[in-house]
Structure 1
Amino acid sequence: MADKGNILITGAGSGIGRASALRMARGMHVIAADLNVDSAAETVSMIEADGGSARAIKVDVSDKASVTSMKERIEKDVGSIDKAFFAAGIYIRGMVCDIPEDNWDRMMNIHVKGTFLCCQAVLPDMVAANKGVIVNMSSDFAVMAVPAAAAYMAAKSAIYSLTKSIALEFAPHNIRINALGPGPIDTPILQSGRSPQEYEDARLMLADKLPVGRLGQPEEVAAVLDFLLSDRSAYMTGQIVHPNGGQLMW
């Protein structure tokens, strides 16, 4: 379990973000941020039902004013952010010649710009405290190729490079920044844009390809996040860690 303090988690309303919020609430106060604040509030209710402490806040990570407003409200309500997990994301499938420009821009704005803006918002206070840990959300797709995923893969690759750059810049301030690169995880993103039958077919196809023979669960990614946020990973920074069922072995 990570140390005590305040943790900001974006994309906390579902999937890996929600599972991570539930896990980290065992020892930290969670700020559950999401564009869908009702979903974030559901996560908070789950945390509180389990005896944890949390609050929900709405944020559009692709909008600087929204991110700034979130940061100011957090400062007013709970003080500084000690650790952060930036997991907000979407997945829009499409072959290269068929991707509308606005879909491309949306993917880049939410994933890349959103990660940048959120890091930019929390880093000054971490520098002042001379400590902090950030984990960004990348993907196996940052280092592999599959059809109909060019925008998502480009965005996740950018997050990997951004993570390394920020990690190098802020290492002298005792701040660590790593990234998670999950493989196939059974989350709402896997379901997005698919009919129920297409979703089931995708689950079976992916499970059959993985060496472990199954999809991962959000809670398994959250367990790796817990490690990356804790002092057990104190010698790790600028890395992408892949909880992926062995996907990158082929």
Structure 2
Amino acid sequence: MKAQFDATGSVIAITGAANGIGRALALACAKAGAKVIALDVDDREGEALQSEHAHIEYRHLDVADRAAVSRVFADVLMRHGQIDGLVLGAAIQPRIPVQDTPADTWQHVLDVNLNGVVWCYQAVLPSMIARRAGSVIAFSSGLASSGWLGASAYATTKAALTAFVKSAAKEVAAHRVRFNLIAPGVIDTPQYRRANEGNDGAHWQQTLGVGAADDVVGPLMFLLSDAASMTASLVSRDFAYASRDDA
């Protein structure tokens, strides 16, 4: 069965949109007819993404800056009138053993990966409640339950997000706003490459397999769509299967 999504008339905001999964999703949503607000701190890649499709609008945003989050989303809502989908993909993943992690590094991971999700959610939620419609998606990770060497800060934020989303989703279910999680599995992105140089990269290739950013687009489009009559749920992609080219 072939899935097709029609996002005509929708406004989709994506944080962490300049690279990896966010970039792939931005292009897919734009091609499906949505107006896409691509948010990131990587201006060079963000502006390059904007140039690829007329429906993509790039905005610089550091999600750890609560004031900037409020200002940018207020402007988006003023200009476009609505945000139908919010995909919270911005994250950082430094690999440092706990005993060597400086306090400011630990705090920065929490500010981007966890607090940044909260600030964006707070900025967009009232408009979704008022319209009684909206889909919000945050990213978890298999490391939230399994952990990994040097990834304590990252794994901590992903575990915390699971508790946050499952609680927050229940608060807004009566308003027909959906809030779900996706654990995309091991995906070949610029962040993955930086975090898994050397032996770690070989480990994932030989165990879970490493997928491509486009592999996650379908599940994300489903969660954004009105076909996903679910909330407070975690969609987990645990293993990379062979593509047609590999068969």
TM-score > 0.5, shorter chain as reference: yes
Hey, what does 2:245 align to over in structure 1?
none
Partner AA of 1:23 in structure 2: A
Structure 1 residue 175 displacement after superposition:
0.5
Hey, what does 1:35 align to over in structure 2?
41
Q: Is 1:10 aligned with 2:15?
A: yes
SS in 2 for 1:143: helix
Q: Is the 8 A contact 2:178 2:232 kept in 1?
A: yes
Structure 1 residue 47 displacement after superposition:
2.5
Hey, what does 1:107 align to over in structure 2?
109
Please give the per-residue CA displacement for 1:36-88, whole angstroms capped at 9, x wherever unaligned.
2332221122233xxxx121111110111110111122123222111110100
Q: Is the 8 A contact 1:23 1:223 kept in 2?
A: no
Q: Is 1:215 aligned with 2:219?
A: no
Hey, what does 1:73 align to over in structure 2?
75
Partner AA of 1:80 in structure 2: Q
Choose which of 120, 125, 135 in structure 2 pairs with 1:118: 120
Q: Number of paired residues? A: 235
Structure 2 counterparts to residues 126-141 of structure 1, below 5 A: 126-141=128-143
Aligned-residue Cα RMSD (Å) equals 1.6
User: What is the TM-score with the length of structure 1 in the denominator?
Assistant: 0.89
Q: Which runs of 5+ in 2 are unaligned?
A: 242-247
Q: Distance in 1 between matches of 2:22 and 2:238?
A: 17
Q: Distance in 2 between matches of 1:58 and 1:29?
A: 17
Partner AA of 1:21 in structure 2: A
Partner AA of 2:177 in structure 1: I
User: What is the TM-score with the length of structure 2 in the denominator?
Assistant: 0.90
Partner AA of 1:224 in structure 2: P
SS in 1 for 2:69: helix
Q: Is the 8 A contact 1:2 1:226 kept in 2?
A: no
Structure 1 residue 193 displacement after superposition:
5.1
Hey, what does 1:169 align to over in structure 2?
171
SS in 2 for 1:93: coil
Choose which of 18, 24, 31 in structure 1 pairs with 2:29: 24
Hey, what does 1:202 align to over in structure 2?
200
Cα distance change on mapping 1:13 and 1:207 into 2, 3 Å: same
Q: Is 1:241 aligned with 2:235?
A: yes
Structure 1 residue 151 displacement after superposition:
0.4
Instruction: Could you list the structure 1 runs, at least 4 aligned residues long, displaced by more than 3 angstroms after superposition.
Output: none
Q: Is the 8 A contact 1:2 1:229 kept in 2?
A: no
Hey, what does 2:220 align to over in structure 1?
225
Q: Distance in 2 between matches of 1:84 and 1:30?
A: 10
Q: Distance in 2 between matches of 1:71 and 1:145?
A: 33
Q: Is the 8 A contact 1:179 1:238 kept in 2?
A: yes
Cα distance change on mapping 1:240 and 1:17 into 2, 3 Å: same
SS in 2 for 1:80: coil
Q: Distance in 2 between matches of 1:59 and 1:147?
A: 30
Q: Distance in 1 between matches of 2:139 and 2:6?
A: 18
